[in-house]
Every structure is written in C-alpha cells, then in structure tokens.
Copies of this chain bind each other. A is one copy, B any other.
Amino acid sequence: MAVTGPDFDKGEGLAPAVVQDDRSGEVLMLAYMNEEAWLKTLETGKAHYWSRSRQSLWLKGETSGHVQLVSEIRLDCDNDTILLKVRQVGGAACHAGYSSCFYRKWVDGAWVTEGERVFDPKDVYR
C-alpha cells in the first residue's frame, strides 16, 4: 500500500479531524478537512479546515488570531478520521470563548455549562 494522506473519498471529499490540546489532552473541537486543508496544514504547520457552512478553506484563527500550531497528526484505523494535537494560541478554540467547544455537559437530562471563558467573543470578533 502506498503511503498517502487520509482517505477523503469516503466522506465525499471530507474527513473529520478531532482536535486535541497537546498538553492538557482536552478535546477542543471537531472540524473537517478536505485535501487542500490537509496539504495547507502540512505546509504551514497551522491547522486549516474546510468550512462546511462557508464552503471555503479556513485557517483556524484567521479572524481571532487564535491559530492552532500542529504538533502531531494521527490517523485512525479506517484511514478516514484525523487526530490533530495542537498548541492553541490564545488558549481558546471555541468561538464562544471557551477553551473547548465541548463546554456543556449532560447532567440529569440537561446540558450544563462547565468550563471557564477564556475570552469574551465581543472583544475578539469585531
């Protein structure tokens, strides 16, 4: 088998990427990569994704400055899911200002916010 990047064909051109803090191990977010995002990430060392809502290549942190410096890339056994370990500049991956997008926890049938806000979105996205 030739060594190649992830298999983007299985997900109609997209592969989900789990993004994890390389120090704390906290899962920060899930995003999607296409081949262009994959290649840009390798080339620059900064996480690039494919924005499904905007339908465009997305340098994470382009607006906020909170880029993700990639320290490790892993691939799952099916070749169709990526794991990125990153150093999150600014300390928050979530556009809502939390370190992780997973800031809500299921407790007794309801979602409870659990996570400290690193920044106020109003100060970052003007």
Contact = CB atoms under 8 A, between A and B. Distances in A.
Interface of A: 3, 16, 18, 20, 24-27, 29-30, 72-78, 81, 83, 94-96, 98, 101-106, 109-111
Contacts of A26: 25
B96 A77 contact: yes
Contacts of A24: 25
A73 B30 contact: no
Given A78-B101, A81-B30, A3 B111 contact: yes
Nearest to A95: B77
Contacts of A30: 16, 18, 76, 81
Contact of A74 (B16, B72, B78, B106): B106
